[in-house]
Copies of this chain bind each other. A is one copy, B any other.
């Protein structure tokens, strides 16, 4: 049995919902063969989000952590490949913090790789008709902060924990004016479920999914 902790975020930037938490919470009671799912909602706040994540990890003792966040403007579900040791906030977080050019962890390495089978995730989503792609930047805001913090935690833990981050598009109701692409909650839900299932495999696929720039 693989225990997977899924996290979503609280709404930010004036939005009324955050599709990451809406999708994650909908998976709480989902039954997946060989997998036990735990969920947690994190504050969109530098620092505090990591405190909550550590608690959730402590409580649920997962084998895998998949943190999920909203990436307004994207067209696909995008597992992130790399977390960078940088905070550079374009807007204040939900408690008014707006760090510029700060490290997530002083003295930490420049970056960490995701240890999730991200290409397997993308491939199975595509096979099931769900738009998906690898992303090589999780931004420099709370999402990347949490992703880097998680990977740093994992690297300094004694437990064999795997982890990573997945960005998802706006929900349709956040994009009613037609100015941005969006993805329905149901599609995101199905995609995340396939991502969870992919975590039963430790090995990733070796297929090209890079970008020229």
Q: Mark A126-142, 1 if CB is under 8 A from B, else 0.
A: 10011111001111110
When the two chains form the complex, which single residue of B75, B113, B186 contacts A178, counting CB atoms closer than 8 Å?
A: B75
Which residues of chain A in 196-213 are interfacial with respect to chain B, using CB atoms and an 8 Å cutoff? 206-213
Which residues of chain A in 8-44 are interfacial with respect to chain B, using CB atoms and an 8 Å cutoff? 13
Which chain B positions have C-beta within 8 A of A110?
82, 109-113
**Nearest B residue (CB) for A170:** B131
- Known A140-B211, A141-B210; judge A82-B81 contact (CB<8 A): no
Which chain B positions have C-beta within 8 A of A139?
136, 210-213
Which chain B positions have C-beta within 8 A of A178?
74-76, 78, 131-133
**Nearest B residue (CB) for A44:** B212
Q: How distant is the Cα of A206 from the Cα of B86 in the complex, in angstroms?
A: 13
Main secondary structure of the interface of A (DSSP, over half): loop
Q: How distant is the Cα of A155 from the Cα of B111 in the complex, in angstroms?
A: 16
- Known A81-B86, A167-B213; judge A75-B180 contact (CB<8 A): yes
Which chain B positions have C-beta within 8 A of A177?
76, 126, 131, 133
Which residues of chain A in 62-87 are interfacial with respect to chain B, using CB atoms and an 8 Å cutoff? 69-76, 78, 81-82, 84, 86-87
Q: How distant is the Cα of A184 from the Cα of B138 in the complex, in angstroms?
A: 25
Q: Is the CB of A136 within 8 A of B137?
A: yes
Q: Is the CB of B100 within 8 A of A172?
A: no
Stretch with Cβ within 8 A of B (4 or more), from A49-57, A88-96, A156-164:
A88-96
Which chain B positions have C-beta within 8 A of A69?
213
Asked if A5 is at the interface (CB within 8 A of a chain B CB), the reply is: no
Point out which of A180, A207, A213 has the most chain B C-beta atoms below 10 A from its C-beta: A213
Q: How distant is the Cα of A210 from the Cα of B209 in the complex, in angstroms?
A: 25
Q: Is the CB of B75 within 8 A of A206?
A: no
Given contacts A81-B86, A100-B207, 17 further A-B contacts (CB under 8 A): A13-B212, A71-B212, A72-B213, A75-B180, A75-B181, A76-B175, A76-B177, A91-B212, A129-B171, A129-B173, A129-B176, A130-B173, A130-B176, A131-B178, A137-B137, A139-B210, A167-B213
